[in-house]
Structure 1
Amino acid sequence: MVTQDEDVRSGMPQERILITGAAGIVGTMMRERLRRPGRLLRLLDVADPGDHGRPDEDVLTGSVNDAALMATACEGIDSVIHLGGISRENSWANILQVNIDGTHTVLDAARQAGVRRVILASSNHAVGFRRLSEAAEGPDGLPADSTARPDTYYGVSKAAMEALGSLYHSRFGMDVTVIRIGSCFPDPLPIGKRGLATWLSPDDAARLFESALATQEPDYRVVWGVSDNTRRVYSLAEARRLGYVSHDDAETYAGQLADAPDASGPAATYVGGGFCTAALGEFNQL
């Protein structure tokens, strides 16, 4: 582990950001996009993210449930981007252990280390049983702070993450930004036509994370993590107040999805799409 004193002697970066889940889909895309002169990224995952030896990176391998490891990971850190966890529906036991208990371990390690800012990667599935028709009731779409209506155990874990973030802001003054991500992939194609509304491009994701990292006043806020898609149903008003400006639109991929099936039934009614009919507690790739 590189200490702050060693940073000073070696001229290494002074801003330090811990990214949990750094070897996952979003973490891998953010690793490249969040590199900046004068910034060190500390990368943590149960899987080895590879490419060791960069002077602007510090790699740790292990679980967010390991309190001792998280205490070490948070030493000298300015901000935590918490992406680690199970990213699909799974058994209640696994969801509870990794997503809920793991988030608590991350937040408490950050608190004890004096970390001033945490960004939590939530999901649209925290409000999956909100009706898409509700989006029409707001001036810019479904408000980012709509109360929880989870569609799965996974969605419950994201609602719990949001509640824990609120607690740690209110109790300890930590700056907490919750990003309810729609779907963040290199392109919206894996999601089908639903992705034309939910997509958060990798470049826009980096822009949104940078906006959250730049906040000056400690607060608790919930924002939608989506690009400014033509078919967007989620409000970007809250994210724009952070300074986020989307440059991308999933509609550029619409032609490639022309033959994809249209949603029907609950998937066409609720924000959570197919998650609203998936079997609870079973691993799925929806």
Structure 2
Amino acid sequence: MTERVLITGAAGGVGTLLRPRLARPGRVLRLLDVAPVLPGDGAEVVTASVTDPEAMAAACADVDVVIHLGGHSREAPWADILTVNIDGTYRVLEAARHAGVRLVIFASSNHAVGFHPAGQAPDDLYPRPDTYYGVSKVAGEALGSLYHDRYGLNVLCVRIGTCIERPVTERHLGTWLSPDDCARLFEAAIAFPGTGFRIVWGISANTRAQFSLAAGRELGYEPRDDAEKYADDVTPSSELDRTYLGGEEFCGPETNF
């Protein structure tokens, strides 16, 4: 039986890294974005916004799993965050539950808790967003909780650390999620029965890990990569990088709108 996985924000940074790693026989990837997407073998392409309820309803038809990456991936004016990140996530969840989707994986972020002091963060760390962007991730987690409790939708919120090809800064040595480990985590989530509602950290098996791996391992996730092998090549951390989980780029005053 063919499994169909819808990826929103498929043309974005994480979506581009994940697409080839999630492609496999017996699975169809449905790739949705407002930007052009090169489909790859056997993929379906939908050019639409997550804010369009009719487009989302059509995109979720016959879908088993939704991986919701769509939205602004950095700080933006409140009106944009509200429309795309918060209302867009509501539209995705609403379409998914009406379509009978089995699981929604929501790409949350470490910036949902960015103003917590830097250090080892537990799986159930209370929200303390560092930006409007971070607020949108808190709202997405809350919507996921509601849609599970009210409608029985399985929702996994992955608080992604830093999903890039390789670490660039010293801070990334504690927050890095390698693209391969990102795919391993999502595959574990897809295979896990009866997810319910969960929040897990999305990081690799980093020697200097800032976040817990316990909840991810409960899903069967076993990361294989460690940012430490890049330690000699990264730039030093700033004072704010060492002070807050969210780091200077998101916790600094220049992120204000």
TM over 0.5: yes
Summarize the alignment of residues 12-51 of structure 1 with structure 2, pairs less than 5 Å apart: 14-51=2-39
**Aligned-pair CA distance for 1:229:** 0.5
Instruction: Write the letter of the residue equivalent to 1:26.
Output: V
TM-score (norm: length of structure 1): 0.87
Instruction: Write the letter of the residue equivalent to 1:155.
Output: G
Q: In structure 1, what is the equivalent of residue 93 of structure 2? A: 107
Q: In structure 1, what is the equivalent of residue 163 of structure 2? A: 184
Q: Secondary structure at the match of 2:46?
A: strand
**Aligned-pair CA distance for 1:276:** 1.1
Q: Secondary structure at the match of 2:170?
A: helix
**Aligned-pair CA distance for 1:281:** 4.7
Q: Which runs of 5+ in 2 are unaligned?
A: none
Q: How many Å separate the matches in 2 of 1:245 and 1:223? A: 13
- The correspondence for 2:150, drawn from 158, 171, 175, is 171
**Aligned-pair CA distance for 1:130:** 0.9
Residue 130 (str. 1) matches residue 116 (str. 2): yes
Q: Secondary structure at the match of 1:23?
A: coil
Q: In structure 2, what is the equivalent of residue 76 of structure 1? A: 62
Instruction: Write the letter of the residue equivalent to 1:267.
Output: D
Q: Which runs of 5+ in 1 are unaligned?
A: 1-12, 136-141
Q: In structure 1, what is the equivalent of residue 176 of structure 2? A: 199
Q: Secondary structure at the match of 2:172?
A: helix
Q: In structure 1, what is the equivalent of residue 45 of structure 2? A: 59
Q: In structure 2, what is the equivalent of residue 138 of structure 1? A: none
Residue 221 (str. 1) matches residue 207 (str. 2): no
**Aligned-pair CA distance for 1:261:** 2.9
Residue 208 (str. 1) matches residue 185 (str. 2): yes
Q: Deviation digits for residues 126-169 of structure 1, max 9, x if unmatched?
A: 00011124x2xxxxxx1122110000000000000000000001
Q: Secondary structure at the match of 2:171?
A: helix
Root-mean-square deviation (CA), in Å? 1.2
Residue pair 1:127, 1:150 contacting (<8 A) in 2 also: yes
Instruction: Write the letter of the residue equivalent to 1:118.
Output: V
Q: How many Å separate the matches in 2 of 1:153 and 1:206? A: 27
Q: Deviation digits for residues 100-130 of structure 1, max 9, x if unmatched?
A: 0000000000011111110000000000011
TM-score (norm: length of structure 2): 0.97
**Aligned-pair CA distance for 1:278:** 3.7
Q: In structure 2, what is the equivalent of residue 273 of structure 1? A: 247
Q: How many Å separate the matches in 2 of 1:251 and 1:20? A: 31
**Aligned-pair CA distance for 1:209:** 0.3
Q: Secondary structure at the match of 2:88?
A: helix
Residue pair 2:111, 2:131 contacting (<8 A) in 1 also: yes
Return the index of the structure with the highest Cα Rg.
1
Q: How many Å separate the matches in 1 of 2:237 and 2:205? A: 21
Residue pair 2:51, 2:87 contacting (<8 A) in 1 also: yes
Q: In structure 2, what is the equivalent of residue 261 of structure 1? A: 236
Q: How many Å separate the matches in 2 of 1:68 and 1:279? A: 37
Instruction: Write the letter of the residue equivalent to 1:226.
Output: I
Instruction: Write the letter of the residue equivalent to 2:9.
Output: G
Judging changes above 3 Å, is the alpha-carbon distance between structure 1 residues 102 and 246 closer, same or farther for their aligned structure 2 residues? same
Q: Secondary structure at the match of 1:132?
A: coil
Q: Deviation digits for residues 246-269 of structure 1, max 9, x if unmatched?
A: 100001111112xx23321x3311
Q: Secondary structure at the match of 1:224?
A: strand
Instruction: Write the letter of the residue equivalent to 2:236.
Output: P
Q: Secondary structure at the match of 1:193?
A: coil
Instruction: Write the letter of the residue equivalent to 2:116.
Output: R
Q: How many Å separate the matches in 1 of 2:231 and 2:209? A: 13
